[in-house]
Amino acid sequence: MTTVAKPLYRKRVGYQAALLGGFATLAAALLIVGNDSTHEAIAERQAEDLLASLAQVIPDKLHDNDLLANAIRVDGSDGRPLTIYRAMKDQHITGFAWRTAAQGYAGAIDLLLGIDASGQLLGVRVLAHAETPGLGDKIEVEKSTWITGFNGRSLRNTPDTEWHVKKDGGRFDQFSGATITPRGVVKAVHEGLVFFRAHRDELAVMNEADS
Amino acid sequence: MSNDYKAIVRDGLWDSNIVFSQSLALCPLLAVTGTATNGLGMGLATTLVLVLSGLVVALFRDITSPEVRIPVFVLIIATIVTLVDMSMNAWLHDLHKVLGLFIPLIVTNCAILGRAESFASKNSPLPAMTDGLMTGLGFTLALVVLGACREVLGSGTLFANAALLLGNSFSFMELVLIPDYRGFLLAILPPGGFLMLGFLLAGKRLLDRQLAIRQQAAQQAGAAAGTA
């Protein structure tokens, strides 16, 4: 602060309160304006991101609808609401996609599952994770082809007992130095398929909005 | 006046470099410097916040009373960071995807409050903004150097994904220095960041000492020449 003598009124509590209040009001006003002018653009960008991820697990040739518009909400296996994106072609449901979470070595791994109408996996992708770089991050499709090993798997061609990593007597590879990560992903994908088997009829119901 | 600005530039970039000399702002520093590109992005975002907060704090320096200055500064900085975060999310979305996690961390960067308190609140807007810019660039320098060292050692690349940050015309910056490198995990993990920072701090001190010795020698030589 400068050494020039300040007017006395600045020492009063009222001035301090008004100053702080004034800045708080100004900050709030600025944030309202900022939020107002960006929230539409942000929502658009997020929808684009979601569509881009969905396109990786539901091939374009499987649907002619807007995946975001034909989503339904159901109760997930953990009781929390789950948004299921449904692919349709010629008024028939051809596939489903939803987000799920696996328990990894360093917290939750966000996954996106894509399943066709017969219950066969179209693809699995990792949306976000905090696994160890160089070890657990081989679950990313950019780093390794491991995650594409789920393509075409279903509960029919891979029995429940084989949904484990090889170390645990299952069908899926683990990574050298990182077993917990693939184990968690395999478990989450399997749970997703089991959930789909239990709720398939409920998910395939067409709404009026779908036609 | 020009001497003042020279001092501001020198202090911000080197003599009082926020990382190398004051060892401040280590939380964002160690969190983002896995690659040089992330360091660059975080540095530029921080620089923007420093310049803006310097300007605003300097503008209001005469009406801010010493008793409530800290909450006022915190409010100003938090507002600016939030606005930068929202604008980047809306208009620089790809960059935000890379740095999004770290932008709110800028609020916790003690260097910004430090500059507001020790410089911007005592100076007029122009020097305050210059100080913000130079401190920010000094911070960016530290982030990029540390990021580059860790990236080369850890992954064998330099400026990976720079095109994502700066646009496709900058893809020439993305270098693979060591092809088929298996990676050195420690350098990418946080402990490696601490180790690398230690080496860089030691390096800077060594360099400063060498410079001081040389300057002293030159002075003595000059003095000797003067008396002769």
Range with lowest mean pLDDT among A130-134, A203-207, B196-200, B209-213: A203-207
> Is the CB of A6 less than 8 angstroms away from the CB of B65?
yes
Q: How many CA within 13 A on the CB side of residue A64?
A: 5
Residue found by looking up tokens 């990236």 in the block:
B151
> Is the CB of B185 less than 8 angstroms away from the CB of A134?
yes
Residue A23 in contact with partner chain B when CB distance is under 8 A = yes
For chain B, the distance separating the N- and C-terminal CA atoms, rounded to the nearest angstrom, is 36
The whole-number average pLDDT for the span B153-167 is 78
Higher pLDDT, A71 or A151: A151
> Is the CB of B87 less than 8 angstroms away from the CB of A10?
no
Give A59-90 pLDDT, tens digit per residue: 888 888 888 888 888 887 777 788 889 888 88
Task: Report the chain B residue with the minimal C-alpha distance to residue A13.
Answer: B67
pLDDT at B228 (0 to 100): 56
> Is the CB of B90 less than 8 angstroms away from the CB of A6?
no
Residue A18 in contact with partner chain B when CB distance is under 8 A = no
Buried b (16+ CB within 10 A) or exposed e, B8-26: bbebbbbebbbbbbeebbb
pLDDT at A211 (0 to 100): 47
- Residues in chain A within 8 Å Cβ distance of B154: 133
pLDDT at B2 over 70: no
Those of residues 145-204 in A touching chain B at CB distance below 8 A are: none
Across A176-180, A205-209, B83-87, B181-185, which has the greatest mean pLDDT?
B83-87
> Is the CB of A38 less than 8 angstroms away from the CB of B86?
yes
- DSSP string of B121-139? GGS-HHHHHHHHHHHHHHH
pLDDT at B226 (0 to 100): 67
Measured between alpha carbons, how far is residue A26 from residues A14, A30, A39, A66, B72 in Å? 18, 6, 20, 41, 11
Residue A135 in contact with partner chain B when CB distance is under 8 A = yes
If pLDDT is split at 50, 70 and 90, which confidence band does A209 have? Answer: low
Mean pLDDT score of chain A:
86
- Residues in chain A within 8 Å Cβ distance of B79: 27, 30-31
Give A163-176 pLDDT, tens digit per residue: 999 989 888 998 88
pLDDT at B95 (0 to 100): 75
> Is the CB of A38 less than 8 angstroms away from the CB of B87?
yes
> Is the CB of A24 less than 8 angstroms away from the CB of B75?
yes
Which residues are A88's β-sheet partners? A93
- Listed in sequence order, the residues at least 6 apart from A20 whose beta carbon sits closer than 8 Å to its beta carbon are B68, B71, B72, B75
Range with lowest mean pLDDT among A110-124, B95-109, B194-208: B95-109
pLDDT at A92 over 90: no
Considering only CA atoms, which of B171, B129, B144 is closest in space to residue B38? B144
> Is the CB of A42 less than 8 angstroms away from the CB of B78?
no
Decide: B7 and B133 in contact? Cβ < 8 Å: no
Best of A12, A38, A129, A132 to mutate (most B CBs within 10 Å, chain B): A38
- Structure tokens, A83: 């948004």
Looking at the complex, report in whole angstroms how far the Cα of residue A125 sits from the nearest Cα belonging to chain B.
Answer: 17
Does the global pTM surpass 0.80? no
pLDDT at B26 (0 to 100): 83
pLDDT at A5 (0 to 100): 59
Residue A107 in contact with partner chain B when CB distance is under 8 A = no
Looking at the complex, report in whole angstroms how far the Cα of residue A15 sits from the nearest Cα belonging to chain B.
Answer: 9
